[in-house]
A = this chain, B = another copy of it.
Amino acid sequence: MKCPPTSRAELAQLAMMLEVTAYPKPGNVDRCHDYEDTRLEHFLASVIACRPTLDVVGRGELSIGAAIYDAVVRTNCHLGGNTHFGAFILLMPLIAGGDIPGALRLIKETTVHDAVLFYQAFAETQVRVIESDGLDVNDPDSIEQIRRDQLTLLDVMAYSAPKDMICREWVEGFPLTRRFADRLHDAGGGAKAISPLFIGLMAKEMDTFIAKKFNAEVAEEAMAMAQEVLGGRRTVESMDEECIRRGINPGSLADITIAGIYLALTEGWQWDR
């Protein structure tokens, strides 16, 4: 019995599933703990709910802005809040484009309409994605400004890139996504590699979600904690406990992890070893 080829949509869902079940992942929802309002089942329900969007994107039938909007609408229906907004920003161009160069071609082609749809999507969520002085998600005037200044979705991302590592991936060509995928290839297969690579990423890159939720000092503290874990000066359990207690969840690094797993899967990385 031959296995049917796995679609890009399914690989993206596998990446989302493997990220959220990876354990331990200090500060984030993982297999062994929840936040009070957001539980493992919420993440997995989102993984299931976005499939129709991913299918259409995989066939190249939806613009990037429309794809993000559609996925957010579909995954915003449970009570766990939006769980994959940042992941969708990274995944959609990668799925539609096939690889990083393809994604960057599509990103360059994004339009003002994509930017408007993107703003409309996250106006409905409570996600800290873009908070800058010029363009405020919660301000309806922002959409007016996008139209007036004819900003494309890439323009919006470039505007936010200094403070947001997800936007930076768009602008700089997915360097962290690429690196995470490379590390997975180096590890030689098996989902068990995800957790240590995630902690390695935390030690090296400041999570901009934490910086927005708290401030840069707290984000740097989280980095330092991960460095202590890697250096054997602290247990991962104690780091996890402190992060959870203080609500320090590296959400943007989780999104980059999803994109990295997805990229690796498209390149033949085997999760099931």
Contact = CB atoms under 8 A, between A and B. Distances in A.
A45 interface: yes
A242 interface: no
B124 A1 contact: yes
A65 to B, nearest CB: 15
Contacts of A17: 41, 44-45, 48
Contact of A1 (B1, B76, B272): B76
Interface residues of A, number: 34
Interface string A161-194: 0000000000000000000000000000001000
Interface string A1-27: 111101000100110011001000000
Contact of A47 (B3, B42, B48, B76): B48
A17 B31 CA distance: 13
A104 interface: no
A191 B76 contact: no
Interface in A188-225: 191
Contacts of A6: 49, 77
Nearest to A69: B1
Interface of A: 1-4, 6, 10, 13-14, 17-18, 21, 31-32, 40-42, 44-45, 47-49, 51, 73-74, 76-80, 124, 191, 271-273
22 contacts: A1-B73, A1-B76, A3-B76, A10-B49, A13-B48, A14-B48, A17-B44, A17-B45, A17-B48, A21-B40, A31-B31, A31-B40, A41-B191, A41-B271, A41-B272, A42-B272, A45-B272, A47-B48, A48-B48, A48-B51, A51-B51, A80-B272
